Amino acid sequence: MSQFIENANWRYATKKFDTTKKVSAEDLATLKEAIRLSASSFGLQLYKVIVVENPEVRAKLQAVSWGQTQVTEASHLLVFANQTTVSNTDVDTYIKNIASTRNLPEVSLVGFADYMKGAISNIPEEVKPIWNAKQTYIALSNLLNAAAELKIDVTPMEGFVPAQYNEILGLDKLNLNATLVAPIGYRHEEDATQHYAKVRKSNEDLFITI
């Protein structure tokens, strides 16, 4: 646990990436696995993560990301995108995955499937995309922690125009909406931000014990 705290103190929102350093295929696979293993409501994982490597596409995305250079300078750009809808089909697909993974008959999971479908049907349609979007933040936290352990920098970003990302990446056609952007790579030695003391609330200000 002490290592986890050290990693949390080490990481920061990198402002300038070293363009000469690239995340290895092995480390990228580890980060993908950390994201894949993230918790989500019911385990449905109603989102996709787009790994953008194409420099031309990233240049277009930078233009709609308030000009932030991390989008183009980082080794890779990860875009978290939530499904804009959720339906019984999503539940059925998940049930098939459970049955296959755990070697169970699907009929044994009917009760669980009906429970999920009932719960989801009670969520107002306009709230469902928000519910889905929240799950991407949980996945992002797994990325942040795994990357810190590998000493890979991540800059979580909400400073972009989702509609433009959707258009550039063709997400609208995939029933997806960009919610989070996460450039990953290695901090540049000239990024002065890495030397700033981490500023957080004190325990007294942050926690309430009842």
Burial of 122: CB neighbours in 10 Å, binned 0-12, 13-18, 19+: exposed
In a domain, 57, yes or no: yes
Predicted pLDDT at 2: 82
Q: Could you count the other beta carbons within 10 Å of the beta carbon of residue 118?
A: 9
Q: How confident is the model at residue 141 (pLDDT cuts 50, 70, 90)?
A: very high
**Residue 14 clears pLDDT 80, i.e. is over it:** yes
In a domain, 95, yes or no: no
> pLDDT tens digits, residue range 42-70?
999 999 999 999 999 999 999 999 999 99
**Residue 1 clears pLDDT 90, i.e. is over it:** no
Average pLDDT, the chain: 97
Question: Domains in the chain: how many in total?
Answer: 1
Predicted pLDDT at 169: 98
In a domain, 23, yes or no: yes
82: CATH: 3.40.109.10
For the segment 30-50, the average pLDDT, to the nearest whole number, is 98
> pLDDT tens digits, residue range 151-196?
999 999 999 999 999 999 999 999 999 999 999 999 999 999 999 9
In a domain, 169, yes or no: yes
Sign of the torsion angle spanned by Cα atoms 67, 156, 176, 122: negative
Q: How confident is the model at residue 112 (pLDDT cuts 50, 70, 90)?
A: very high
Q: Return left, alpha or beta for 81; rule: phi > 0 is left, psi -120 to 50 is alpha, else beta.
A: beta
In a domain, 105, yes or no: no
Owning domain of residue 171? 2-86+123-195
Q: In what order do the strands lie in the sheet with 153-154?
A: 47-52, 76-83, 176-185, 153-154
Predicted pLDDT at 134: 97
In a domain, 200, yes or no: no
Question: How far, in whole angstroms, is CA 22 from its chain's centroid?
Answer: 20
Q: Which residues contact 106 (CB under 8 A, 6 or more apart)?
A: 95, 96, 99
In a domain, 53, yes or no: yes
